[in-house]
Each structure stands twice: as structure tokens, then as C-alpha cells.
Chains A and B, each alone.
Chain A
Amino acid sequence: MRNRQATNLLFELSQPGRRAARYPACDVSARPLTELLPAHQLAEQPPDLPELTEPDVIRHFTNLSTLNMSVDTHFYPLGSCTMKYNPKRHERLASLPGLVDLHPYQDEASQKGMLAILFELQQMLGEIAGLPAVSLQPAAGAHGEMTALLTAAAYFHDRGEKRTKVLFPQSAHGTNPASAAIAGFECIQLKGRADGFVDLAELKANLDDKTAVFMITNPNTLGLFERDISKIAHLLHDVGGLVYIDGANMNAILGITRPGDFGGDMMHYNVHKTFTGPHGSGGPGAGPIAVRDFLADYLPGPIVTRTQSGGADRFQLTTPTKSIGRVRSQFGNVGILLRGYLYLRTLGAAGLKAVSEQAVLNANYLRSKLADVLPVPHGERCMHEFVASAEKSKTENGITALDIAKRLLDYGYYAPTVYFPQIVPEALMVEPTETESQQTLDAFAETIRLILSESPELLHNAPHETPISRPDEVKAGRQLLLRWKR
């Protein structure tokens, strides 16, 4: 049961003299710090952190946690985010001694098992992508995008080609252009067709010998498979450019089709979406990339390589010969990569394909259940997600996508992604994932119908049951209170 008083800040709960963590007395020479370090480098006082007991801290954060919705407690049909169930076995196994307590700078002989896992993960990700060369280093999807673009830039540079432009459709995730800009490219946004697909004529008109990469999400952000993806890839390859596949929507096509088979040259995975790394309230993720053979030499290092001697495998960390260098310290977000590894080893090939089949079936089922009240303007059927429009309800009785989203919270459902992509008016982007049952989907559809029958005034002020309602975001941006102050 929720504790309704518990929203004081740590600093407000602080009482002088309280503490939780205690440490043993110093067991080495009694020389004080003032003899060890120069006086002018020392702080007079330690930072003014709050003073609390362990029960204070535990009750505070436990109560805070109950103010959240989460996948373990609620259905989370958040489009493009793939909020699937995160198996508990991953938490236990990723915390085993020998995995969770490995220091990144240990000698290679003491990490044999870890290197074997990471090597096998590289192999599996290469196979699922149809792109054989893999780097596990990027920390998240956007980091993967940037890494792949820098890899492409190094490849072009090595060939003496001056390619400066990265193209992407209007419906692309914001990270695509942002990553291209950081990697030093000029960004060209294509308008695309009214039906959400890439306009081949427009694409063609923008291609030339300065074109480096076309970035595309497939299935696209409308949840539709880009039928012309092969033609698109041919157009790019004909002018010497490369195709980047944003892997955010991989949950739709695992074992069905592969980015490398439909013309992609590079891609990233979101391990925290497709392969069940828990989202952790915004991270951590892992954004490994897979690329074609001819780009392998440019990938960031280290990667895990295998040599065989006397019938035994030996794994080691190596840096590719023409590597772009590091994009972060250490190996990568191994804790999340491990969860991805465990997921793939649990499912195998058949299980993985079944994931996409069920995800696509669930999305289509929910789409059909809602078609009469929340029509989907684009496509006959969808892949793993669909973008419905609340325009009809808005015109008829003023109920907007935002109203529906906020009211869903009252009924115990997280809200779909709203107002993205922008080509759909009053957009509600729904991705149920494969881990939800038919009963959950039915109940969700019933709830949407119920909401649409409620009074518009009630909905404009929704949610009513949540800890807070409709925060003043303008005020937040204007007053900029970004920390607690005395």
C-alpha cells in the first residue's frame, strides 16, 4: 500500500549526527592525513551530504519506488521502446562471482570465461544481423550510431573519398541526425511519402558522390516494413554510399529477415530493448554494432578474437588494424551484454524467431481490437507496433491522444508513446511486445473503449489516481530548479 507522506527529499529528512555506513578503525600507521597531503589541497569540511540512518534511506527509496510504474508491475505498451519482461534468471546469473566482480584490468588468464561469453555474443549478434563484424563497445543505441558512422568515415577516408553527407527520413529517431552531427557529417532530412515510406525519387535526387550514409529504421517508426529497402540499398551502393539500419525495431524481424540480407551495411542493437536488459529508469543500455566484413578493420577496439591451438580455443582482446580508436573507457556495458547473452542462450534460433512472431501477432491483434475507435492511418497490418490516431475522437468530442495517454495511467497502464512520429496526427504508438498475454491485451482494449466513452472534461484533467497530475512543465523550464537548496 502506498505511503502518501513519503515524498520529502533526502536533504529534508537529514538530521545532524545520523549515519548509516560505518567503517573499521584504521589499522595502519596513525599518521594523520595532514602529514600525507599538502594542506592547501585539503577540504576544510567534507561535502554537505544528508545525514541519515539505514532505515531512513531504505524507507525513503522504497516508498519512492512505489511512485513508479514498471514492467514488473504494469503493462507498458510504449511504442519503439520494446518494454518486454526481463527474466529474473538474468539478474541472478549476471551477479555470479567471477562475472560481477571482474576488474577490467585483470590479466587475460583470469577472464577466460568472460572472454568466451563475449566472443560467443559477438558471433550470435553477427549472425542475427547478417553482418559478421561486431563491436560490443558502444554504451547505448545512440553511441552505437555514432560509432558506426565514425567507422564509415574512417573507411571512406582510407579510400580517399570525401563523403560529407548523411541522409535520413523525417520520421527518424532524433538520435540519428544528432549522432551524424557528432561524427562530423552534414545532415540531410528527406520528407518521405504521405504513407510513411521512403520516397525513392526524393532519395535519388539527393544522392551523389558526397553521400556517405543513409540511416533508416526498418521496420520504420510506423511499424511497417520498408518494402523498397532493397531498392534503397541498391541506390545507395550505386553511388558508393552505405546503408545504416537503426536496430530499435529488431524485435519484429529476429530470424525472419536480417539487416545484412536486405541491404544494410551497418546496424546497432539496443540490448536493453530487444534482448531484455532492464531499462533501469532510463538506462543503462548497451548498443553493440554489427558491420560488413570490409568495415571490420575500422571498428573500435578492443574486440574479442579467437585463436585455436592444439584443439583448444584461446580468446584475447585485440584492436583492429585501422581502428577508429576507443569511444569510451573499458570494454563496454558488460553487465547488460551478459543479460543479452543469457537471453539468446535461453531462446536459441527457434525461440528467437517465435519472439518476433508473437510480438507481431500481439501488435496486430491489439491493432484489430482497436481499429474501430482508434484507426491506424497507415498500412493494412503492422509489424511489432502500430501508430493509431486519436484524430477522430479529437474532432468528435475533443479527446486528444494526450488525454487518452494520461487517463490510461489511472487504469494502471503505462501510456503509449504520443505525438511521434509526427506524420500521424494525434499519434498513439503502441508496442505490446511478445510477453503480454491475450487477456492483458483484451483488458487494455476494453479500457481504451471505456476511456473514449468518458466525459472529455474528466479526461482533460486526467490522471486522477496518480501521485501527481499534469505537472507544470513550463514553470519547470522557466524557474530551473535543478537541485535542492537550503
Chain B
Amino acid sequence: MLKTVGVKSVDELFDQVPRELRLDRPLQLPPALSELELESHLRDLASQNVGVSGRVSFLGGGIYDHFVPAAVDAIAGRSEFYTAYTPYQAEASQGSLQAFFEYQSLICELTGMDVSNASLYEGASAMVEAVLMAMRVTQRRGKVVVLGSLHPEYRDTLTTYVRHLGCEIVVVPTPQGTADPGDASRLIDDRTAAVVVQHPNFFGCLESPRDIFAVAKQRGALSISVFDPISLGVLRRPAEDGADIAVAEGQSLGIPLQYGGPYLGILACRQEFVRQMPGRLVGETVDRFGKRCFVLTLGTREQHIRREKATSNVCTNQGLLALRATVYLSLLGPRGLREVADLSCRKAHYAAEQLAAVAGLELAFARPFFKEFVIRSRGNAAEVAQRARIAGFDIGPALNRFPTLAAECGASTTEYLLVAVTESRTKNQIDNLANSLRK
């Protein structure tokens, strides 16, 4: 090969890198491992962790231990999907393109919205993209209204993105677990670009999105719904509540926990905003023989064409995770989704009753909730979580993990703990959790 190139050594190929810039020593990296050694090394490290297969998980906060059917792994593990590139060459990518078109269709059915993109990174940045989109649509940049019950990491992410815009993030207080629509109404004005309502909210409680979105509409602000995809098996869809843009963390749709990602950012909106959407879109068309096929479309919104005028800088998305969600929703169908939502909701209510009956514990908020709720310990929540762990249960997160929430719960965040219940939990596990906290 060197002879074909016309050089004497591989080193000569690097002549264009000036000598003085070359690294004159080996990189200081750990020694190379064979596959056998690597497996042993990693098994050792993995064994120092305790995941949901090691402890019964009641952990929530936006990421949940919902059951993932084996068929999801089987399809996502197909080489042709997971080692393919972004489907720019339509003729060599019809599999991915059709799957993403189906993903978009399923997300539209799920949310009631008109159009969905082909995925974003995860929930928080998807919500920020929705806010930036609302700013472009309304031509207002000065103010965004969020509820105090919004996931604190979502609010933190929004703060990071809009700080330099001089944008004020106004927080509607939620001291009793939900916002009073009257309070929201007083804070939404004709400078407001967007109102963000998470429903069910970070505490698991149901908000009143319809009332708040109606006010937003009157004042010319866009309504952004942050939803839980599983909840739509039983709850009204964001479009029916008046949302202009609906965003979500899609992890619940067949995606493993894997310590924080990769997950799936869902973003769907009304038809009139389609040209302001971020991210890739797949559209239907025909090929030169008139056969139905699918292509990436409206690329003129995107960074590779519009550069600094693009609707977003997003390029790489979460294709494989969108595929997982597509397979998951096809396996569940309408009845399966309703069952998962129904089971999660009823088991969560059973768990809430059992835990509230434990001396020293009570439900923090007397509000309707879906699959997650906050318990208050009249001691220290961290100590309650520790007792549960010793008995083999994970509950949380404790709310004092999130400094942003301090204003919402006052000085007592140390007393609050989230508990989430999915269809995967059994009555036995719930009873045993409650018993372990009685001791």
C-alpha cells in the first residue's frame, strides 16, 4: 500500500503535520485489554453498581422502570438499523426513513398534534427547543412563564440556554403541588413568548393545562405541554388541552435506564409552526417510478443549509431510540398503552395509601396524581430512602437533590421524597416496601 501511495513509511504520510506539533511520547492511557480481559474488567466494575435488577425500583423524576418487551431489543439490535448512518441517501435508507415516518405518525396519534419531528436528544433540551421555537413564532424573547412544578433539571437547562437573551423566566408558585391557574393568569402577559406546563408535573400531580393554555392563547403566548407518554393511555392528549407544542422525555417508551441516556426527546406541534421546527423531518413522496417512498424533507430549516439562521443547531438526533419507541408503541397498541397507564396509576395509588399509613410518613400534596407522588417524612427523607435501600428497595429521588426546587418547597426539601410506581411493580413489593419503613 505504501508503494501505491509513493511513500517509504507511514510516518511520511504525516509530513503535513509540523514536527513541532507532534506528540513526542505515547499517550498516557491505561494498557490495552483483550476482549477476555475487557469483559472481566467491566464485569468487575458493573458488579460494584446496583441497578434495578438488584433492587426493586420505585425511582422516578422523569425516568422510570417501565417494562421493555424483548421484541424492542430484537429490532433495535438489527445491524441494519444500528450501524446505519443518518438517512441522507434515501435509496439506501428506506428502512430507517419509513420507520421514522411511522414514528412521526405514532407521536401525532399519541399527542393529537399535527406534526412531529424525527427526535431530539432528550426531554429537557427538547423543551428548550420548544421555547426557542415559541420565541421565533411570537417574536417575543423577553419572558417565559414556567410552573414551579416543572422538572428542576428542565428549568436549569432552560436557564442555561436563554440567559444571554436577557429572557426572564417567571415561575408560577406551586406550594401545594400544583399551580393555581389564577396565579398563572396574572403572570402571563403580552410580552410572554411561551407558557410551559408539565402535566403530570414533576411531583406526579395533575395540573390544569387547559385553563392555563386558554389564558396563554388570549395573551398571544404559545402553550408548551411537557407530557408523560405513558400517561396518554388514560389522560387527555396535549392537543385537546390546547397545546401548541408538545414535548416529552420518551425514555418510558421502551428505552433502558442506562444511567441517564441516551434517551429520546419528543417534539410535536401544530401544522402552522412546521417551518419553525427544529430537527429532522421525514416526508412521503414518490420515486421516479411513482412508487411511494420516504425522504428527509424541509432541510432548509436545518444547520447544514441555513447555518446560523437555522431553526436549531441539532444535527445528530436519537434515531435508534425513536425506533425503539416506534416498536414499543406498535407492540402495545391502544389497549396495551391504556393497560400500562391504568396499572401504573392504580398501583401508584395503592402504594400511596400504604406509605401514608406508615407512622411518620404522609402524602405531601392532596392533589390528584398519575403514577408518582411525593411523600413527606417528619424526619429526614434521606434516612427513609436509606432504610428502604437496606431492605432492597430504591425510592426517590429526594427533592433536596435539586437546589432549584428550594423555592418551591421552602426550607423543608429535606423532608420530601418522590415515589414512582410502574406496571412492573407488584402488590407484594409495595407491601414489603411499606413494611420495611414501619420498622
- A-B contacts counted at CB < 8 A amount to 669
Provide the A312-351 mask, 1 if CB < 8 A to any CB of B, else 0. 0000000000001111111111111010001011111111
Q: Is B303 close to A, CB under 8 A? A: yes
How far, in angstroms, from A326 to B316 measured CA to CA in the complex? 19
Tell me which of A72, A127, A183 has the highest count of chain B C-beta atoms within 10 A of its own C-beta. Answer: A72
User: Per-position contact with B for A14-27: 1 when CB-CB < 8 Å, else 0?
Assistant: 00001111111011
Stretch at the interface among B112-120, B187-195, B217-225, B357-365: B112-120
Given contacts A9-B105, A361-B10, contact A102 B257 (CB under 8 A): yes
B100 to chain A, nearest CB (A): 8
A338–B258 Cα distance when bound, in Å, is: 10
Given A139-B122, A258-B23: A89 in contact with B237 (beta carbons within 8 A): no
Determine whether B292 belongs to the interface, using a CB cutoff of 8 Å to chain A: yes
Kindly identify which residue among B89, B132, B327, B330 contacts A405, using a CB–CB cutoff of 8 Å. Answer: B89
Q: Are B27 and A175 in contact (CB-based, < 8 A)?
A: no
Given the known interface contacts A36-B368, A346-B32, the answer about A114 and B259 at a Cβ–Cβ threshold of 8 Å is yes
CB-based nearest A residue for B114: A483
Interface size for B (C-beta < 8 A) is 199
Instruction: Encode B409-430 as 1/0 by CB contact (under 8 A) with A.
Output: 0000000000000010011001
Q: Which of B85, B232, B334 has the most CB of A within 10 A?
A: B85
In contact, B49 and A481 (Cβ under 8 angstroms): no
> What are the residues of chain B within 8 A of A29 when measuring CB–CB?
346, 349-350
Closest A residue to B354 by beta carbon equals A28
Tell me the bound Cα distance from A229 to B21 in angstroms.
9
Q: Which residue of A lies closest to B262 (CB)?
A: A284
Chain B positions 297 through 328: 1 when the CB is less than 8 Å from some CB of chain A, otherwise 0? 11010111111111011111111110100110
Cβ of A217 within 8 Å of any chain B Cβ, yes or no, is: no
Task: Say yes or no for B394: interface residue by CB 8 A criterion.
Answer: yes
* Distance A395 CA – B429 CA, assembled complex (angstroms): 74
Partner of A255, one of B27, B55, B249, B306: B27
A99 touches B51 (CB 8 A): yes
Min CB–CB distance B176 → chain A (angstroms) = 16
Cβ-defined contact, B298 with A73, below 8 A: no
Q: Does any Cβ of B come within 8 Å of A388's Cβ?
A: no
Supposing A99-B51, A256-B14, A283-B317 touch, asked if A43 and B237 sit within 8 A by C-beta, the answer is yes
A483-B108 contact given A36-B349, A365-B4, A467-B94, CB 8 Å threshold: yes
> Which residues on the B side are within 8 Å of A187 (C-beta)?
307-308
**Cα distance A113–B62 in the bound complex, in angstroms:** 24
- Say whether A103 contacts B59, CB under 8 Å: yes
Contact across chains for A48 and B109 when beta carbons are under 8 A apart: yes
Contact A103–B57 (Cβ < 8 Å): yes
From 440 to 462 in chain A, residues with beta carbon under 8 angstroms from any chain B beta carbon are 461
Chain B residues positioned under 8 Å from A415 (CB to CB) = 89, 92
**What is the CA–CA distance of A348 and B302 in the complex, to the nearest angstrom?**
38
Contact A328 B124 (CB under 8 A): yes
Contact for A99 among B49, B125, B337, CB less than 8 A = B49
With beta carbons under 8 angstroms apart, the residue of A41, A49, A272, A345 that contacts B334 is A49
Please measure, in the bound complex, the distance between the C-alpha atom of A334 and the C-alpha atom of B237, giving whole angstroms: 31
Selected A-B contacts with CB under 8 Å, 21 pairs: A9-B101, A19-B333, A29-B349, A37-B345, A43-B236, A47-B112, A92-B39, A98-B49, A98-B53, A114-B259, A230-B20, A262-B21, A282-B86, A282-B100, A325-B157, A329-B122, A329-B260, A333-B260, A352-B29, A379-B16, A476-B295
